[in-house]
Chains A and B, each alone.
Chain A
Amino acid sequence: MQQGSLWQKWIHDDRLRMIIIFVPPAILVFTVFVMLPMIQAGFFSPWKWSGYGPAPWAFNEATDATFGRWVGERNFDRMFGHSAFQQAVWNSILVIVVSLLIQLPLALMLALMIYRTSRANTIFRLVFFMPYILAEVATGLIFAFALDGNYGLSAWFSQMLGLEEAWFPLAEKPWAFYAILAALVWKYFGFHMMIYIAGLQSISSELLESAEIDGATTWQKAIYIKIPLIWPAITVSIFYSVLGALQVFDLVMPMTAGGPSNSSHTLVSYLYNFGFIRLDVGFGSAVGVFLFVTGVVFALVYRNTVQKGQ
């Protein structure tokens, strides 16, 4: 009887049924493709290892030694002391700053202008959202062509301005990364704009009408009603843009490949370049551990402060 009622409960409790059906596959995929590689990276990080062999500590019969060499914290020492790494950290911070100060305000402004449903607004939304649909590598290549001083838009502009020498932003030091930042803003503002539009459309029209009756201006409505009401959407978009900033990679590779002179690396392109291309998997793992810890610390702090109670 007892068993029967439990069974009955299982069959009829939708929530429980959903958990049983949907959670195990998700946990499995998450464990295999996220947790295990992360744990593995942690174990690899104190080794000097080229990636040959199953693991750095595995014994290689051909050499009578392990595949890797234990170096302890030296991978981390080298990483923190490497000027290209410091530049990559700074660049990643720059991406966050530009996202928060330029990209998100721009997205919010546009969202406020075009969130109402009308035919013209739909077209604008589509146009602004278009860059987000484009593959990142394709975006990078388009920008690389446009900014090429030999045959791109940059050549055309230089000629129009009557410059004696064409401008090659991707070949010059501070400009190369600014160009990447511009491409990032261009590509992602539409995504954040859509988040805000979804939030704005859910604001009840009665609220806005009553504000209008009370004589509120457009500016006052935005500041005192709309933005506070879509604050949860804004915090979500900040969360995405900061974590996204830590992951920028696909745009960097086709545009500058981290150059000139390793000045435009982000953390991930740095990891890829110095970990994978240089066959230094232990070092790459150390960078990965740093990236992971940074991401987790940010997520925990953010969730427990800004997003607390949401």
Chain B
Amino acid sequence: MKQGLIAAGLAAAMAATPVIAETEITVLSINRDSTPWKGLYDDVVADFNANNPGVTVTVEYMEDESFKQKLPTLLQSASAPDMFFSWSGGVFYEQAEQGFLQALPDDVVAAWQQDLSPGGMAALSHNGKFYGAPEASQNVAIWYNKDLAAQLGVDPTTIATWDDLLAMVKVAKDGGVTPFVVGGQDKWPLHFFYSFLAMRIMGQDGMTASAAGENGGFNNADWVRAGEEYVRFIEMEPFQNGFMGVKYDGATGLWGDGESLFHLMGDWDLGASRGAASNGGLTNDQMGVIPFPMVEGGKGAVTDTLGGASGFVLTAKAEPEAIDFLKVFMGVEAQKRAASEGVYIPTVPSAGGLVEDTILKQFAAIGGASTYHQLFLDQFFGSSLGGAINDVSAQMATGDITPEAAAELLEETREFQ
């Protein structure tokens, strides 16, 4: 009798639970604090979950640095996500080579290349295999403060060469205005200067040769010259007082407060500076954007761009449903919304024209006219060599290393990779 009751109870309990096996897809993203970006994710996920019974997608967020550090352990544990954010570059190559990522089937790649950005997909590929879908297009350029430019009587749009820029730095210094703000403690904001100078001086071929260890790798005249130009700039004391003790957030807050004439940073800074500024930051009308100028005698072009090529990649354990979700998550509709709402600059070509924000539009134009897109050097060369580039950028800024010694150190690090 008692057994009968238990059996009946069990049967009732089983009938109450749905029969469809639930597929859980977990996504690991870096922090998307700003409401438009996180809101976009939330909406896309909610839509997908509603339209796909039996599949539940959850997105987890992690702060950038802890994300980078936890990922290696996480990827080899049972709690690895199905897909995660990737900056592409050296770290991504390592993950792909070590077999922690899942390559997309050929038919999927062919279909996605039609809709999504082929260039962005290429950034998330390694040795002929494609591992994910690209998201935002990121570019670094020089921002200028129109109010301060007017006050100093200069027109930054006339800057064509590095020397022009340095001349304007001098005008700003003489006029009592800080030329640039920078978050030196984070090092990477400083490495943008060194990277751009190197790109303008050696061009794409030079950069490729360095990566391959040809022509002395990093220890050659071009890298030394990039360092020398950088040091020439540093010697003018272009940064705010105490720049080595400030992180990116603090520096971009100063920029938003109108503390400097220029700011070398990526398009994401639009939201970041407004978030960090004490009074809501500068309006679009108060800011202008110019590309990093050309260095005289350089082999690069002023249209060569430096920036990110990020997106989401699939882990080895990803379920087939994860591919479907990724297509929606980074898909045309989501990117169109991102463009029209000013969340980010989309990589999907058909969404590019929808960008309305006047500042983001200028960045989109710079990205659109790119003759060669270089991934952030600290990402491109992987964590060890990339970290060394950040190190020497900071050390040259504090006068602790000569351009020659910096080039030697980089080459030594490259050789040991």
**Are the CB atoms of B187 and A259 closer together than 8 Å?**
yes
- Which one of B13-21, B96-104, B136-144 is at the interface? B96-104
Residues of A within 8 A of B68 (CB): 277
CB-defined contacts of B398 to chain A, threshold 8 Å: 173, 260-261, 263
When distances are taken between beta carbons in the complex, the residues of chain A under 8 Å from B242 are: 148-150, 166-168, 170-172
The CA of A53 and the CA of B97, in the complex, are separated in Å by: 11
Does A256 lie at the interface of the complex (its beta carbon under 8 Å from any beta carbon of B)?
yes
Residues of A within 8 A of B97 (CB): 62-63
Instruction: Name B76-119 residues within 8 Å CB distance of A.
Output: 76, 91, 94-95, 97-100
Q: Are A78 and B394 in contact (CB under 8 A)?
A: no
Stretch at the interface among A44-52, A133-141, A181-189, A220-228: A44-52
- Interface-lining segment among B149-157, B282-290, B383-391: B383-391
Of A50, A165, A167, which is in contact with the most chain B CB atoms at under 10 Å from its CB? A50
* Complex: A54 Cα to B100 Cα, angstroms: 12
For chain A residues 167-208, which have a beta carbon within 8 Å of chain B?
167-173, 176
Q: How far is the CA of A279 from the CA of B244 in the complex (A)?
A: 24
A259 touches B99 (CB 8 A): no
Q: Do B244 and A260 have beta carbons less than 8 Å apart? A: yes
Give the A interface residue count (CB, 8 A). Answer: 42
Q: Is B362 an interface residue, CB under 8 A from the partner?
A: no
Asked if A74 is at the interface (CB within 8 A of a chain B CB), the reply is yes
Question: Which B residue's beta carbon lies closest to that of A165?
Answer: B241
A52, B69: Cβ atoms closer than 8 Å? no
CB-defined contacts of A148 to chain B, threshold 8 Å: 242, 245
Whether a CB of chain A sits under 8 angstroms from the CB of B185 is: yes
Q: Write out the residue numbers on chain B whose beta carbons fall within 8 Å of the beta carbon of A86.
A: none
Interface check B35, CB cutoff 8 A: no
Cβ–Cβ < 8 Å partners of B100 in chain A: 52
Which parts of A68-110 form the interface with B (CB within 8 Å)? 71, 74, 78, 84
B327 to nearest A CB, angstroms? 25
Those of B225-273 within 8 Å (CB) of chain A: 241-246, 250, 254
Q: Separation in Å of the B382 CB from the closest CB of chain A?
A: 8
Query: What are 9 sample pairs from A and B whose C-beta atoms fall under 8 A apart?
Result: A51-B72, A60-B98, A61-B99, A171-B242, A259-B394, A261-B244, A261-B391, A261-B395, A278-B384
Binding site for A on B (CB under 8 A): 65, 68-69, 72-73, 75-76, 91, 94-95, 97-100, 184-185, 187, 241-246, 250, 254, 382-384, 387, 391, 394-395, 397-398, 400-401, 416
